[in-house]
Amino acid sequence: MITAPRKHIFASVLGIVALVIAATLIASSVGAASERVLTVFYISLIAVVGMGVYSGNSGILSFGHLSFMAIGAYAASLLTLPAHLKIATLPKLPGWLATTEVGIFSATIVAILLTCVVAAVIGLAIGKLEGSAAVIATLGLLIIVHGVAIGWRDVTRGSQTFFGIPAVTTLW
């Protein structure tokens, strides 16, 4: 239920949009490093707002969002990484994945679908929990996903970073 007057909500949204546009214009004029910092900030902001919307409406703190962001990010990264780099840096990658290279749009769609399937399966179990049990379960999920991401070196490079992923994200 919205209790604030509509004019206050409209003014707040308008102010936020103006700040985002101003920050983007300033970062674009300063240089590439500022653009990268602001891009990472915006991506992190999306994650925080997603957590806030869920927690604010359900009253349950969820760490699952971060797990699903990681799954989607790894899936999209592995699909957009050039095949010759995957073969060189991830030699134990399954053959079908090592030779698969798709564009960012297709990779994003596949990553979204994969993440939705994983979220649906996990949601069936966690959705039945309430209160602190749900919070602990989503924290456990985050720890498991982090452990898999760090431990599955043949696919994720462990704690090392991917390189060679096409940079197509800009502020605009």
Please count the other Cβ atoms lying within 10 Å of the Cβ belonging to residue 43: 12
- What is the C-alpha to C-alpha distance for residues 90 and 155, in angstroms, rounded to an integer? 7
Q: Counting beta carbons within 10 angstroms of the beta carbon of residue 53, is it exposed (0 to 12), middle (13 to 18) or buried (19 or more)?
A: exposed
Quick check: 118 and 145 in contact, CB under 8 A?
no
Q: What is the pTM (predicted TM-score) of this model?
A: 0.71
Residue 166 DSSP SS3: coil
- What is the C-alpha to C-alpha distance for residues 73 and 71, in angstroms, rounded to an integer? 6
Do 24 and 88 fall into the same domain?
Answer: no
- What is the C-alpha to C-alpha distance for residues 134 and 13, in angstroms, rounded to an integer? 32
Q: pLDDT value at position 117?
A: 95
- Could you tell me the pLDDT band of residue 37, with boundaries at 50, 70 and 90? confident
Do 149 and 159 fall into the same domain?
Answer: yes
Quick check: 76 and 43 in contact, CB under 8 A?
no
Do 12 and 23 fall into the same domain?
Answer: yes
| Sign of torsion over alpha carbons 109, 28, 35, 9 | negative
> Is 45 among the domain residues?
yes
Tell me the residue range of the domain where 45 lies. 7-58
> Is 1 among the domain residues?
no
What is the total count of domains within the chain? 2
Residues 130-151 have pLDDT tens digits of: 878 888 888 899 999 989 888 8
Do 84 and 47 fall into the same domain?
Answer: no
Residues 16-25 have pLDDT tens digits of: 889 888 988 8
In the predicted model, what is the mean pLDDT of the chain?
83
- Does pLDDT of 171 surpass 70? no
Quick check: 48 and 56 in contact, CB under 8 A?
no
How many angstroms separate the Cα of 120 from the Cα of each of 31, 65, 73, 113, 124? 41, 13, 18, 10, 6
